[in-house]
Amino acid sequence: MPTDTVKGFPIPSVRRLPLYLRLLRELRADGHEAVSCTQISESLGQGTVQVRKDLAITGIVGRPKVGYQVPELVDAIETFLGWKNTRDAFLVGAGSLGSALLGYDGFQENGLNIVAAFDSDPAKIGTRIHDKEVLDWEVFHDLVQRMHVLIGILAVPAHAAQEVTNAMVLAGIRAIWNYTPATLEVPPAIVVEDVRLSSSLATLSSRLTRQLESQR
Amino acid sequence: MPTDTVKGFPIPSVRRLPLYLRLLRELRADGHEAVSCTQISESLGQGTVQVRKDLAITGIVGRPKVGYQVPELVDAIETFLGWKNTRDAFLVGAGSLGSALLGYDGFQENGLNIVAAFDSDPAKIGTRIHDKEVLDWEVFHDLVQRMHVLIGILAVPAHAAQEVTNAMVLAGIRAIWNYTPATLEVPPAIVVEDVRLSSSLATLSSRLTRQLESQR
DNA sequence: AAACTATCGATAAGAGGTTATCGATAAAGA
DNA sequence: TCTTTATCGATAACCTCTTATCGATAGTTT
C-alpha cells in the first residue's frame, strides 16, 4: 500500500502550500492584514475554489467579505508543514549537487537546517563547503545517534544509493530526501521523498517536443 | 486553460517514464533481450497494470508470454521524450544551485546538454565552472538567436526570476526549466516546468511530522 | 495435437482531485 | 433598518488517474 495521501490530506494541496506561504509572507512584510482567495488566485494563477480548499487543510477559517488574516494564515501553514521550528538534517554525498544544496540558503525559510555533510572521499573529508563541515561517512552513525538527527539528504551517486540508504535507516534516520534517480527500498515507517529531476526534465522535453511538432 | 496533460498523455505516466528508462538501460547493458511487466513491477515496486499503461503511451506493444523487447522499448521511450538527440540549453544564474547543475553529468543521458552559463556578476563572468564558460548576461539574447537554443534553465534569485524570464522569452527561448520558487508569467506557447524543491520539502516535513506524532 | 500458462491489451470499476454552483454570512451603503 | 455585495464553506458534478477483471494470444508442456 503506497502512501498516496498525507494522512488524509491531498498531496497536491500540500505541495501547493509553500506557494501560498511565499506569497503570504510577502504580503505580511508589506503590512497587509487580510487577504481574500480572489487576490491569492490572481497572484498565483489558480482557481479561487482550489485556493480555499488548499488553505482549508490547515484548519484556518476565513470571514465573509474580509478573507483570511494574513499572519494567522502564515502561522497555520507553517504549523501544518512542521516549519515553525527548523529541523536539523545531514547531507550525504558532497559532490556537485550536494555542494549546491549546502550552499542554498532557501531551506532555512522552510524549516530545514543542514548541519553538516558526509562523504567517504578522503580528499573531501575535513574540508568546508559553504561554511559547512564535510565529515567522514564512518562517523555518520554515531553523530546521528548523538545529535538525534532525523532527516538525511541523499546526494550520492546512484549506484551507492541503496547501500547508503540502508546505513541511514540503521543509524536512525527517519526521513530521506532522495536526490538520486534510484528507487529506494526502506521499511514502511521511513519517509522517503524523491526529487527526481529526470521526471521534471521528462515533462519539459516531451512538452517542448510536442509543442515544436504542432507548429510545423 | 492550464496544461494538464501533455497532449492527451497522463502527466504522471510521463513522469514515470525515466524510471523505466533507467531500469531498461541497465537490463539492456546486461544483455537482456526481453522483459515482462511482472519483472519491471518487481524492480520498481509498481503495479503491473500501471506499468503496462505507462509503457503503452510510447506506442510500444508487447507479446504475450514474452513481454517487451528491451532495446525497442528503450528506443520508444527515448523517442517519446525527445531524448534521442540531445538538446542544447543555456543556464542563467551561476550561483550555488546553478553551479551544481553545470556539474551534474546525469543530464547528458537525458538528452540535455548545458552549453554555457550566464550571469551579470562581473566577478563570475569569464570564469569557468565545471568546464563550462560563464558568459555575460548581456550577450544572452544574441547567443540564443545565433545558436538557436530553445531551453533556458532558470537558477537566479527569486526576485529576478520574472525579469529574466521576460528576457528569455524575448530572446526566443521556448522552454524554461524553473529552479526558482517564483511563479512565472509567460505567453501560452512557452513551456514552463517548475522544479519547486519547496513542494518536495513540504511533503517530506509534513509526512515526517505526522509520522512522529502518530508514534507518541 | 491438445492442454496449459504467462503475459498482454481492453474494458470496467474505483479513488482522488478539481471545478462549478449555491446558500450563508458579514461588512458596506442606502 | 434594509438592501446590496464580496466572500466563504459545503455540496455536487466532473475529470483524471489508478486498480481490478477478463478474454485473447503465443509460447511451453504433455
List pLDDT tens digits, range B35-81.
Answer: 999 999 999 999 999 999 999 999 999 999 999 999 999 999 999 99
**Is the C-beta of residue A38 closer than 7 Å to nucleic acid chain D?**
yes
| A5 pLDDT higher than 70 | no
pLDDT digits (tens, 9 = 90+) for B76-110: 999 999 999 999 999 999 998 999 999 988 899 99
Across all strands, nucleotide nearest B66 (CA–C1'): C7
8 Å CB contact of A203 and B193? yes
Across all strands, nucleotide nearest B53 (CA–C1'): C9
Average pLDDT over residues A40-52: 97
Q: pTM of the entire structure? A: 0.95
Cβ-based contacts of B16 with chain A (< 8 Å) = 199
A80 touches chain B (CB under 8 A): yes
* pLDDT for the residue numbered B216: 75
> Which bases of chain D are contacted by protein, using any atom under 7 A from a CB?
5-11, 16-21, 24-28
* pLDDT for the residue numbered A25: 98
- As a whole number, the mean pLDDT across chain B is 95
* pLDDT for the residue numbered A105: 85
**Among A17-21, A52-56, B106-110, whose mean pLDDT is lowest?**
B106-110
| A1 pLDDT higher than 80 | no
Nearest chain A residue to B214 by CA distance is A7
| A93 pLDDT higher than 60 | yes
| A188 pLDDT higher than 80 | yes
| A11 pLDDT higher than 70 | yes
A126 touches chain B (CB under 8 A): no
The full DSSP string for chain A is ----SBTTB-HHHHHHHHHHHHHHHHHHHTT--EE-HHHHHHHHT--HHHHHHHHHTTT---BTTTBEEHHHHHHHHHHHHT-SS-EEEEEE--SHHHHHHHH-THHHHTTEEEEEEEES-TTTTT-EETTEEEEEGGGHHHHHHHHT--EEEE-S-GGGHHHHHHHHHHHT--EEEE-SSS-----TTSEEEE--HHHHHHHHHHHHHHHHHHH-
pLDDT digits (tens, 9 = 90+) for B144-187: 999 999 999 999 999 999 999 999 999 999 999 999 999 999 99
Work out the minimum CA distance from B158 to partner chain A, whole angstroms. 10
**Residue B134's pLDDT band (cuts 50, 70, 90):** very high
> Which residue of A209, A214, A215 to mutate against B (max B Cβ within 10 Å)?
A209
| A127 pLDDT higher than 80 | yes
| A124 pLDDT higher than 60 | yes
**Of the candidates B133, B112, B204, which has an alpha carbon nearest to the alpha carbon of residue A17?**
B204
A185 touches chain B (CB under 8 A): yes
* pLDDT for the residue numbered B2: 34
CB contact set of A3 (below 8 Å; sequence gap of 6+): B207
Q: Are B34 and B66 contacting, i.e. CB atoms less than 8 angstroms apart?
A: yes
8 Å CB contact of A203 and B6? yes
Q: pLDDT above 70 covers what percent of chain B?
A: 97
Residue B71: count of CB within 10 angstroms of its CB: 15
* pLDDT for the residue numbered A215: 82
Cα–Cα distances in angstroms (integers) from residue B26 to residues B35, B80, B94, B122, B192, in the given order: 12, 19, 33, 44, 31
B170 touches chain A (CB under 8 A): no
| B31 pLDDT higher than 60 | yes
